DNA sequence: TTTGTTGTAACTATTATTATTACAATTAAA
DNA sequence: TTTAATTGTAATAATAATAGTTACAACAAA
């Protein structure tokens, strides 16, 4: 299955927080921008807060980045919103048959290779930061004339 | 969500077909080795057959590789079992708000980066073949004494 | 005190995964 | 020709995750 839209949602949310300065960025505002629901936004904000990426203001509302955008990588965000169980990208079929020579050894042979693929993906996620997104989207917005 | 166990199942199935020579590899045999169900095995075999990775013998039963194992990459297998919709690893949240400057531009900025991550993962999948698995598992089996 | 907000629980609808039963079509062997 | 084993596929179900929604207590500023 695809990686949950929680990830792109989280990036969208962080982008709003990083870029928008003239409005208070509330969960209602974010729900409107992302075309989702304030509760979903608040859940994701909670996850981002739990790993120290944002701070959220209770009562009065709004949120801001807890770190400079160049220190927030896509990997941080991906891990925060828990798109995969136990951090494992691949779901291995359960309990292959130990009585079969293949079933007995398939984990020995496959586990490393799956990890290798996952690491390649995570390395790429780690190489992209919110600073990249902030820079590019600011350029887009400026071209469109404020 | 994690990538469906159809992928590891398919690799397990192909490994059995590649390695086991003294028994007819039927869907019942494969269901026992993988600890799943003959129908699930047959569905996956059907998908592998559709993209020309295996040939399946109707009536009498059994299956064999349609290509040498070094020409069957993990990427071929991954694509065959359709673990993600439309071939896209990431599920983008639907219809971000065009009236918001971030909602209007988030696709422009994110799409390329998501594709970059996906390509890194697929490049790694493409670098691993069934020949690697066959070689390593044969070694494991030999060490264990036939 | 009022207002707007966050955090969270509870619930729903939809969808994908995985498993299962059932059976027609196929093939080889008895 | 019949029997037995097998594939291909439809239909169904259980489980779990996703994504959405309503409701409301706790909170903080005006």
Q: How confident is the model at residue A86 (pLDDT cuts 50, 70, 90)?
A: confident
Q: Is residue B53 included in any domain, yes or no?
A: yes
Bases of strand C lying below 7 A from some protein CB: 4-10, 16-22, 25-28
Q: Is residue A1 included in any domain, yes or no?
A: no
Q: What does the pLDDT average to over A124-128?
A: 98
* A103 within 8 A of B34, measured Cβ to Cβ: yes
Smallest CA–CA separation between B122 and chain A, in Å?
A: 8
Of A32-36, A142-146, B134-138, where does mean pLDDT reach its minimum?
Answer: A142-146
pLDDT computed for residue A50 by the predictor: 96
The boundaries of the domain holding residue A118 are 6-143
Q: What does the pLDDT average to over B77-102?
A: 93
Separation CA A85–CA A89 (nearest Å)? 8
- This complex has an ipTM of 0.94
pLDDT computed for residue B83 by the predictor: 74
Q: Is residue B136 included in any domain, yes or no?
A: yes
Q: What is the mean pLDDT of chain A?
A: 96
Q: Is residue B134 included in any domain, yes or no?
A: yes
Q: What are the strands, taking DSSP E only, across chain A?
A: 54-56, 63-65
Which residues of the protein are close to the nucleic strand C, CB under 7 angstroms? A 1, 24, 26-28, 38-39, 42-43, 45-46, 49, 56-63, 91, 93-94; B 4-6, 35-40, 58-60, 83, 85
pLDDT computed for residue B146 by the predictor: 53
Q: How far is the CA of A49 from the C1' of D15 (A)?
A: 31
Q: What does the pLDDT average to over B136-141?
A: 97
Question: Largest alpha-carbon pair distance within chain B?
Answer: 68
pLDDT computed for residue B86 by the predictor: 85
The string of pLDDT tens digits covering residues B10-39 is 999 999 999 999 999 999 999 999 999 999
Q: What does the pLDDT average to over A79-86?
A: 84
What's the distance, Cα to Cα, between the start and end of chain B in Å?
39
pLDDT computed for residue A7 by the predictor: 98
Smallest CA–CA separation between A20 and chain B, in Å?
A: 9
Q: In this structure, what CATH number is given to the domain that contains residue B138?
A: 1.10.10.10
Q: How confident is the model at residue A146 (pLDDT cuts 50, 70, 90)?
A: low
pLDDT computed for residue A85 by the predictor: 73
Residue A108 has pLDDT above 70, yes or no: yes
* B29 within 8 A of B23, measured Cβ to Cβ: yes
Contact residues on chain B for A16, CB-CB shorter than 8 A: 100, 102
Q: Is residue A38 included in any domain, yes or no?
A: yes
Q: Does B50 touch chain A (CB under 8 A)?
A: no
Residues 73-102 of B with CB under 7 A from strand D: 91, 93-94
pLDDT computed for residue B85 by the predictor: 74
Tokens in use for B28? 């019942």
Q: Is residue A21 included in any domain, yes or no?
A: yes
The string of pLDDT tens digits covering residues B100-122 is 999 999 999 999 999 999 999 99
Q: Is residue B31 included in any domain, yes or no?
A: yes
Contact residues on chain B for A132, CB-CB shorter than 8 A: 113
Separation CA B130–CA B7 (nearest Å)? 13
The string of pLDDT tens digits covering residues B55-76 is 999 999 999 999 999 999 999 9
Q: Do B89 and A2 touch (CB under 8 A)?
A: yes
Tokens in use for B13? 């199935």
Q: Is residue B73 included in any domain, yes or no?
A: yes
For chain B, the domain total comes to: 1
pLDDT computed for residue A126 by the predictor: 98
């Amino acid at each position: 299955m695809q990686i949950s839209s929680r990830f792109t949602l989280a990036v969208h949310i962080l982008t709003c927080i990083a870029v928008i300065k003239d409005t208070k960025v509330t969960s209602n505002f974010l729900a409107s921008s992302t075309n989702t629901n304030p509760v979903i936004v608040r859940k994701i904000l909670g996850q981002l807060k739990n790993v120290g990426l944002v701070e959220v203001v209770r009562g009065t509302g709004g949120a801001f980045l807890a770190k400079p955008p160049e220190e927030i990588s896509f990997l941080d965000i991906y891990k925060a919103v828990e798109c995969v169980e136990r951090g494992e990208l691949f779901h291995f079929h359960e309990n292959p048959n130990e009585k079969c020579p293949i079933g007995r050894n398939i984990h020995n042979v496959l586990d490393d290779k799956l990890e290798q693929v996952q690491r390649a993906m995570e390395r790429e996620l780690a190489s992209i930061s919110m600073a990249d997104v902030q820079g590019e989207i600011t350029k887009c917005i400026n071209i469109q004339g404020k």
